[in-house]
Amino acid sequence: MTPLLTTKGLSRNFGGLRAVDGVDFALMPGEIRAIIGPNGAGKTTFVSLLSGRIRPSSGMIVFDGADITAMPAYKRVRLGVAYTFQITSVFANLTAFDNVALPVQRTLTDGRSKGQVRSGVMAALERTGLADRAGTLAAHLSYGHQRLLEVAMGLALKPRLLILDEPTQGLADGEIDNFITLVREIAKDATVLLIEHNMPVVMQLANRITVFNSGKILAEGTPGEIRANRQVQDAYLGATHG
């Protein structure tokens, strides 16, 4: 099977700091991949490079066979790359419905009708459990619900690749269970790449895990392989050894 997305020698420098350092990465269609690692490991910079929010200093990004290294973020969205931010980026003064209507309108042709927009919005809100809050201003939603609203906005783009940065931050335990179900549902027709600090979520959800440390990939493997990896335990999982 051909990877949906690959990077070759991908690097990003900020002054003297090499935040992402020569990363070779491959993501297969339909998988749920988690990226983990300590703070400052380069995870958010890496997914920002994939989404086009920042440009690489060197290296290459290929999506579905096309070189997208120099492509701006909005064009990547049209190709099917959707990204939700680590810090919520919802429009506080718009309702949940109107927040989701903005990306829905992008996916429809010029002949769109109000009915098409409405059904697209409500489908995304229903999937994220926010349908009953459609008329609520985003500013009045809890932080956890704002995170879910962002996921709904990403889903409304009908992405082929959905990148989620710390999606469970601020969610209550019951909401986290629903989120795990939601991501499994999304993965039936999209590929999911998530940065996540909540290790039980990572171990339950991910088919494969990529561990970043100091801008490089330290290890990759199944949840079981990563859990048993001595280097990962030392760098991140914090296990103590006798």
Domain parsing of the chain, residue ranges: 1-70+193-242
What does the DSSP 8-state code read for residue 78? H
Side-by-side strand order, sheet with 66-67: 17-27, 5-14, 58-63, 66-67
- Here the tokens at position 219 are 């290890």
The overall average pLDDT reported for the chain is: 90
Q: For 1-70+193-242, CATH number?
A: 3.40.50.300
Contact 146, 140 (CB under 8 A): no
Number of Cβ within a 10 Å radius of residue 29 = 14
Contact 168, 195 (CB under 8 A): no
At residue 229, the pLDDT reads 92
pTM for the structure as a whole: 0.88
**pLDDT at residue 109 tops 80:** no
- For the chain, the first-to-last Cα distance in angstroms comes to 42
99/83 Cα distance (integer angstroms): 15
Amino acid at 115: G
3-state secondary structure (DSSP) of residue 46: helix
Q: Is the dihedral of CA 22, 28, 29, 33 positive or negative?
A: negative
**pLDDT 10s digits, 31-89:** 999 999 988 899 999 999 999 999 999 999 999 999 999 999 989 988 999 987 655 57
Range of weakest confidence among 78-92, 128-142, 172-186: 78-92
- Residue 169: pLDDT band (50, 70, 90) is confident
- Residue 103: pLDDT band (50, 70, 90) is confident
- Here the tokens at position 210 are 């990529």
What Å distances lie between residue 119 and 37, 82, 150, 181, 206, CA to CA? 39, 20, 18, 22, 30
- Residue 212: pLDDT band (50, 70, 90) is very high
At residue 48, the pLDDT reads 94
What Å distances lie between residue 36 and 54, 89, 201, 211, CA to CA? 20, 22, 11, 5
94/145 Cα distance (integer angstroms): 14
3-state secondary structure (DSSP) of residue 81: strand
Q: How big is the chain, counted in residues?
A: 242
Q: What's the whole-number mean pLDDT along residues 167-195?
A: 90
Cα 50–Cα 78–Cα 207 angle in degrees, nearest 5 = 50
Name the burial class of residue 123, with classes exposed (0-12), middle (13-18) and buried (19+) by CB atoms within 10 angstroms of its CB: middle
- Residue 241: pLDDT band (50, 70, 90) is very low
**pLDDT at residue 28 tops 50:** yes
